[in-house]
Amino acid sequence: MGLKKYISDIFYGVKSLITGMKVTGHYFVRPKEIITQQYPENRESLKMFDRFRGEVVLIHDENNMHKCTGCSACELACPNGSIEIISDKVIDPETGKSTKVIDKFVYHLSMCTFCNLCILSCPTDAIKMAQNFEHSVFDRSELTKVLNKPGSKIMPGIR
């Protein structure tokens, strides 16, 4: 009785293995699309998908101007505090009213979970997720970045 059950268990085990390997064997013999990237050999031709979320960047134009008003919506939306906006009040020479101007836009890449909530919460579309992904460093302090460039100003008409 025990030998018969042992042999039937082996038979059903082999049958189950073959059933599971059919899909793998099918794609091994007839591959539809090769999706494996040979990184870093193909570094020049590597293109990331559009939905890829790299690090957060503050968009600047050719005149070193950005759209960030310093409203701190991205800072509040970040679930783990990877964005810090240090702002200052400056009197606008045109209107004579005090306006909020960013002094530093600090981004802690080491704390970021790449959730995209900061991008979605920005009312002026001043920040976006970049396509870069190579962030290997020996010192963790290099992952803290100031996103606004020195001497950058807010674009006219953005409030």
Look at residue 1 in the predicted model and tell me its pLDDT: 64
Give yes or no for a contact between 101 and 88, defined as CB atoms under 8 angstroms apart. Answer: yes
- Does the pTM of the predicted model rise above 0.85? no
Look at residue 84 in the predicted model and tell me its pLDDT: 94
- Domains, the chain, in order of start with CATH, read 56-154 (3.30.70.3270)
**What pLDDT digit, counting tens, does each position of 122-153 carry?**
999 999 999 888 888 999 999 999 999 988 88
Q: How many CB atoms lie within 10 A of CB 73?
A: 18
What mean pLDDT do residues 102-129 have? 93
Residue 6: left if φ>0, alpha if ψ -120 to 50, beta else—which one? Answer: alpha
**What pLDDT digit, counting tens, does each position of 35-84 carry?**
677 888 888 888 788 888 889 999 999 999 899 988 899 999 999 999 99
Look at residue 123 in the predicted model and tell me its pLDDT: 93
